[in-house]
Amino acid sequence: MPMVDTNEAELLGRRMAYIDALRGLHRKERLVGFLMILVGAAMVLPARFAAGWPGMAIWVGYGVITLGWVLFIYVIFRRAQWRRANPFNPNV
């Protein structure tokens, strides 16, 4: 059975903790953006294909979808900014 270097295992643990912290950043904002995209799509589809829905619902739906994507893009930039300010340092 091969011996696992404890330093290597510790480094792997630190790297996994760093990645978990990065993935956890702005989780609520990502969820809100995703839900906004779903709600916008749920407004556009019936308004486009079902009779009786107001035409304004299409534009409101597109606006909600756009805001959801803007929120996603904001989160991407904020996470990249955090990663640049906090690079992985195995000695910390």
In the chain, the percentage of residues whose pLDDT exceeds 70 is 93
The answer to whether residue 68 is domain-embedded is yes
The answer to whether residue 90 is domain-embedded is no
Give the type of residue at 47: A
Q: Taking the model in full, what pTM does it have?
A: 0.76
Cβ atoms within 10 A of the Cβ of 31, count? 11
The answer to whether residue 29 is domain-embedded is yes
Rounded Cα gap, residues 22 and 20, in angstroms? 5
23-37 pLDDT per residue, tens: 999 999 999 999 999
What pLDDT sits at residue 48? 77
Residue ranges making up the domain that contains 42: 6-85
Please write down the long-range contacts of 73-81, taking CB distance under 8 Å and 24 or more positions apart: 74/29, 75/25, 75/26, 75/29, 75/30, 75/33, 78/25, 78/26, 79/22, 79/25, 79/26
The answer to whether residue 38 is domain-embedded is yes
**Structural domains counted in the chain:** 1
The answer to whether residue 70 is domain-embedded is yes
Residue-level pLDDT, tens digit, the chain, 92 residues: 555 667 888 888 889 999 999 999 999 999 999 999 999 999 998 887 877 878 788 899 999 999 999 999 999 999 999 999 988 887 76
